[in-house]
Amino acid sequence: MKLLIDVGNTLCKYVTFQQGELSAVTSIESHLINQQWLTKNFPAVAQCIVSNVNDSQINQTISLWCESQNIAYCFVKSETEKFNLRCAYDDPSTFGVDRWLGLIGASTLFPNQAALIIDVGTATTIDLLTSSGVHQGGWILPGIELMFSSVTNNTKKVIATPKEINQIAFANNTSDAVNQANWAATIGCINIAIASAHSQYLSQDESLKIILTGGNAAKLKQLMAIECEYIEKLIFVGINRYDAKNCA
């Protein structure tokens, strides 16, 4: 059995891979990861592949556990080139490994297809991948909750409560105005990214796959006016391309 771990800023998500299938995604708060928890929950692991955008101490915890259990392990890092993909960053070490794995996941599921990968989590990231596997760069903006808190925490008279919305509309009260604006700003940014991809990077009439992933992706899909594909396990598809015995 292969254990795939994605350590995020708040949550650690994980799946197992065996008999050609990825399990359902499960999560735990990242700060709760310890060797006892790993031993209890994963007694039959042969490989452990990890993506981590959180504290490096978590890497040490996982590596010590793997070594004590004789498990092959690998910590994925962003690279200039891998799996016929090329990163746009001059210094790939500064390119978030979660974004890198999103690119790998997209190219695995949709080979030779231009794609816009949108990860809607603590931050929202948008990355463009051409059909030839060349990353053209991307954007980072605050996630929905971060946008909300940035307004309410830094103003004295903007009083708002987080609220689910079913459509984008102008609001007639402050709380709804903040909630609506967070989603509208995110969708507006995505629409500009789509237009820019078509006008600057893609050939005429070339199709662009719009891929949504991350904690708020399912909700965003409901609000988008264009066709999008929600892929919950996109990062894990990317992680699963790696083999702990030949990770470099």
Catalytic residues: 98
Distance of CA 16 to the CA centre of its chain: 18
Look up residue 108 and give its two tokens: 């695995």
Residue 49 region by backbone torsions, left for phi larger than 0, else alpha for psi between -120 and 50, else beta: beta
Name the residue type at position 171: A
- Give the Cα separation of 4 and 17 in Å (integer): 8
CA distances from 35 to 1, 46, 69, 70, 198 (A): 18, 16, 10, 13, 48
Vertex 11: Cα angle to 10 and 13 (nearest 5): 155
Instruction: Look at residue 138 and give its three-state secondary structure.
Output: strand
CA-CA-CA-CA torsion sign (182, 188, 191, 197): negative
Cα–Cα distances in Å, from 150 out to 54, 146, 159, 160, 223? 21, 6, 12, 12, 22
